[in-house]
Chain A
Amino acid sequence: MIKINNLSKSFNGKPVLQNINLTIPDGKTMVIVGQSGCGKTVLLRSIIGLMHPDSGSILINNKDITKMSQSELFQVRLDFGMLFQGAALFDSMTVRENVGLALNEHTTLSREQISEKVDERLSMVGLDTIGDKYPSELSGGMKKRVGLARALIMDPKYVLYDEPTTGLDPIMSEQINKLIMDTHSQLDVTSIIVTHDMHSAFTVGDIIAMIVDGRVIFCGTVDEFQSSDHEYVKRFAVLQFGAS
């Protein structure tokens, strides 16, 4: 379980997250929605310890990640996989090297065993034929899928997605949504997805939280979200579908 308590963060005096309280139960998929620039990425980066909040706590299985030493943090991160908005593939490495890096660094598996596991993850995301290519040779959607394969290589308990469908065409978005759901059911993970794509949110989410001006203004199931009377929630959902 991930429990976020009273989390606040500001940059140069400008508050970005204000008193965020969220609980993500094990095995659930939480989608955090909100306008661009509302602090979604900052929240996600705080959960995995890439950014340090000004106050509040983030409990992963009752252990506060904000108070951990560097080595404890690295230990906890072995349970996490993160898909970055721009995929963040290592461009000096091939797809296979990208996906297998963590196994190479953290396990004593043989070359063949690693290769096998990499193949398994690559075929899971539908990319078994591009292992020897470099990231610069891939399309945006392929990069995201490789990024997902890399995030899943260590069999994480928690998977974090930063805008997985942003900037993709509708067909590729649909594929990514399906992959997120497959990942969830096949690997039995707890997921947090940050997005402003409401269609994706409704498709993959169990719980939806909405952030406006750095505060959580809504948190509930997809059904509750769709029947909410909250002005902003209604407007956000309607405008999204109106526009696309």
Chain B
Amino acid sequence: MINHWIGKKILTFFMEVGRLWRLFILLIIATRYLFGRMDLVLKQMRVIGVNSLPLISVVSIFTGAVTAWQAVYQFNGVMPEGMTIDFLGAAVNAAILIELSPVLAGIVIAGRVGASIAAELGTMKVTEQIDALETLAIDPIRYLAGPRFVAGWTMMPVLVIYSNIIAHLGAFVVSKFLIGVSSATFFGSIQRYFSVYNVYSGLIKAFIFGGGTALIGCSIGFNTEGGAEGVGKSTIKAFVFSSAFILIADYILAMILF
């Protein structure tokens, strides 16, 4: 009984991975065609990128703020006070660049973009709009998934750069006005320990998280069945799958990159 259930779950998982892989290959092929369709890509870049800025701003500023606050709290008692102040900028900087910005922005995008792609394409699937596209001899993978996929992997690094800046701002404000670290000390610390590799690794993560989220949203959307209820299920599934993908990929990338 339980064996049967587990077996079925494992089978569905591999089917899902197979679908993702197939769609991924088709999307890579479709990318060539998208060079001529910048109108479609730009529209999705706006939806995925520009429209996510307010949410990313809120998440990033508080992430930066709490990181600075927690860093001081954790360092206290472990290090002499002078050293805490000295390390604060550097610690916050590394944490934001490597982990916090890519992963938190990634999960916010999984919720906002991955889920909305799945809901939009899922609705189109269950109301036969995708079939209608096919009867008009328009390939839904090129026309619908392609622009979303390209916008996903191009806009995510941009969002992460933006998130880096806003998070540093949040951390700086807390450090200066609540902890009492001078601007010179804070930025001096960042400068002394700064490694450009941290920026790159964060952007590589962003690229993979963004592409993965869009891919998962499209695949789940295209395979939606069962009316409004099915669309609801797909929406949740897209969020769960893409968040899980981000956390697992983050771990794997950490092993590779560091």
C-alpha gap A154/B136 in the complex (Å): 9
Q: Which residues of B contact A150 (CB under 8 A)?
A: 132, 136
A222 to chain B, nearest CB (A): 28
Q: Which residues of A contact B132 (CB under 8 A)?
A: 82, 84, 88-90, 150
Instruction: State the interface size on chain B (CB cutoff 8 A).
Output: 15
B183 at the interface (CB under 8 A from A): no
C-alpha gap A70/B128 in the complex (Å): 19
Q: Which residues of chain B from 78 to 128 have any CB-CB distance to chain A below 8 Å in the complex?
A: 123-124, 127-128
Contact B129 A82 (CB under 8 A): no
Q: Which of A61-69, A100-108, A166-174, A184-192 contacts B (4 or more CB under 8 A)?
A: A100-108
A199 at the interface (CB under 8 A from B): no
C-alpha gap A49/B136 in the complex (Å): 12
A26 at the interface (CB under 8 A from B): no
B10 at the interface (CB under 8 A from A): no
A90 to chain B, nearest CB (A): 6
A75 at the interface (CB under 8 A from B): yes
Give chain A's interface residue range (CB within 8 Å of chain B).
Answer: 20 to 34
B137 at the interface (CB under 8 A from A): yes
Q: Which residues of A contact B133 (CB under 8 A)?
A: 90
Q: Find the residue from B128, B129, B132, B139 having the highest chain A CB count within 10 A.
A: B132
C-alpha gap A150/B136 in the complex (Å): 9
Q: Which residues of B contact A70 (CB under 8 A)?
A: 139
C-alpha gap A82/B128 in the complex (Å): 11
Q: Which residues of B contact A80 (CB under 8 A)?
A: 135
Contact B138 A88 (CB under 8 A): no
Contact A88 B131 (CB under 8 A): yes
Contact A102 B138 (CB under 8 A): yes
- Dominant secondary structure at the B interface: helix
B173 to chain A, nearest CB (A): 40
A232 at the interface (CB under 8 A from B): no
Known: A86-B128, A88-B127. A101 touches B134 (CB 8 A): no
Contact A102 B137 (CB under 8 A): yes
Closest to A102 in B: B136
Partner of B134, one of A77, A85, A105, A154: A77
Closest to A151 in B: B135
Closest to A79 in B: B137
Contact A50 B138 (CB under 8 A): no
C-alpha gap A89/B129 in the complex (Å): 6
Contact B129 A88 (CB under 8 A): yes
A81 at the interface (CB under 8 A from B): yes
Contact A105 B129 (CB under 8 A): no
Q: Which residues of A contact B143 (CB under 8 A)?
A: 105
- Besides A77-B136, A102-B137, 14 other A-B contacts (C-beta < 8 A): A49-B134, A50-B131, A70-B139, A74-B139, A75-B137, A77-B137, A82-B132, A85-B128, A88-B127, A88-B128, A90-B124, A102-B136, A150-B132, A150-B136
Leading 10 A-B pairs by shortest Cβ distance: A88-B128, A88-B132, A77-B137, A82-B135, A74-B137, A102-B136, A84-B128, A78-B137, A88-B129, A50-B131
14 A-B pairs in the complex with CB atoms less than 8 angstroms apart? A50-B134, A50-B135, A74-B137, A75-B137, A84-B131, A86-B127, A88-B129, A88-B132, A90-B132, A91-B127, A105-B143, A106-B137, A150-B132, A154-B136
